Amino acid sequence: MLTKAPKGARLLSRGRTLRPFRLAALAGCIASSWPTLAHAETAGQKAEARAHFDRGLLLLDAGDLNAAAAEFEAAHALFPAALTAYDAALAHARLNRPLAAVRLLRDASERSPSAALRDKISSLLHEQAARLGTLLVHVSDADGTPIEDAELQAPGYDAVALRVGQVAELLPGSLTLQIVAAGHPSIEREIKIEAGARQELAVVLERSEASRPAAGEVRLAPVQAPPPSAPPPSIAPVGAKTLPTAGIVTAGVGVLITAASGAVLWHADAAFMQLSTEVDAFNGSTGPGGQCSRGNHVSQCRSLSEELNERHADLERERTLALVSLGVGATAVVAGVVWCLSATRPHQTSSGKLPLKIVVAPGVTSLQVTGAF
């Protein structure tokens, strides 16, 4: 008696007799269905992101800012969008976390937000960025060659936040910065970060003992000679500041005026002393029995009195002019010195840029600041 084979056995038997072209056709069917599967996965992520976003809104309304920020960031990780980044940044801003808020707002601004959302992102970004300080670090060796591969390390910041030659946004407060470079001993500096202030730090690293030539070892470095027609390069001390010529000239002229006025004043005082002696002698001759009391000498004594009065008036004018000149000279000296000092200090520019604050760390052998940030 013949029995009917089970359905599974017939399928297995047929599977064993599949030809190669049938296997190829089956593989093509599976490959053609892959975009549909990928679209379904994207739709599932979007739905999950929407669920995180909705929970974040509820938590934000309830005042649970930490949980709301976590939900918004989870939604942004699953399905990045300008709105999720903005809402996460808003929660961090209310939690007094300006650094996290600024990073999310910069991400949101790059995701083509709507006009209304763009205005909100820009306003909140301006507010939160003003609560941060910025730091720009340059690292070079003793020869002045930049060390681009040097690493900056600080607690609470990753390698993306701190890079040599790039402006870093940092939280206000004390920062322990460690500079590490191959072939150089690492150094550590304490820097005070202030909100709204831009700082620049130039560090020169000495070579480590292991990289120095050993005794008897000679290392040659290629030297490129300047062309014969080119003048030798001028070498200026690093960090030297040029004083304004007008300030120097003003101070110099003030010194000359002060010295000349002092000499004139001294001459007038000496002449006053001599005149006082002559006046005393004249007053003695006008007393009873004096020469000027006699009738034949009255006209001569009158002429002498007029001469003494004129000399006294001339000396008074000379002394007054010397005192005025002395004041003018002293004022010029002070103005020239203030001019020179003000030229060496950073100041607020009319373009609205923030003042540049230079941090000189102990042990730094040179400092050079160029340009405006």
Among residues 66, 96, 129, the one where a domain terminates is 129
Residue 291 tokens, joined: 């020469």
Which residues 6+ apart lie within 8 Å of 12 measured at CB?
A: none
In a domain, 98, yes or no: yes
Among residues 163, 189, 208, the one where a domain terminates is 208
What distances in angstroms separate CA 317 from CA 272, 279, 314, one per listed residue? 12, 18, 5
In a domain, 18, yes or no: no
Give the integer Cα–Cα distance in Å for 275 and 308: 8
Among residues 129, 159, 189, the one where a domain terminates is 129
The domain that contains 178 carries what CATH number?
2.60.40.2070
Q: At residue 278, does pLDDT exceed 60?
A: yes
pLDDT attached to residue 157? 85
The domain that contains 88 carries what CATH number?
1.25.40.10
In a domain, 348, yes or no: no
Residues 95 and 140 in one domain: no
Residue with tokens 């910041």: 157
Task: Give me the percent of the chain exceeding a pLDDT of 90.
Answer: 11
User: How many domains are there within the chain?
Assistant: 3
Structure-model confidence comparison of residues 146 and 244, the more confident one: 146
pTM of the predicted protein model: 0.43
Residues 335 and 266 in one domain: yes
Domain that holds residue 190: 133-208
51-84 pLDDT, tens digit per residue, is 989 998 999 889 899 999 999 899 889 888 898 8
In a domain, 352, yes or no: no
203-255 pLDDT, tens digit per residue, is 888 877 665 555 544 444 454 555 555 555 454 444 445 667 887 888 888 88
Looking only at the bridges linking them, the beta strands covering 151-153 and 173-181 are: antiparallel
Mean pLDDT, the chain, as a whole number?
A: 74
Residues 156 and 184 in one domain: yes
Other CB atoms within 10 Å distance of the CB of residue 128: 23
Contact 190, 175 (CB under 8 A): yes
In a domain, 21, yes or no: no
Residues 256 and 333 in one domain: yes
| Mean pLDDT lowest among 71-75, 103-107, 157-161, 286-290 | 286-290
Residues 62 and 109 in one domain: yes
State the burial class of residue 371 (Cβ atoms within 10 Å of its Cβ: 0-12, 13-18, 19+).
exposed
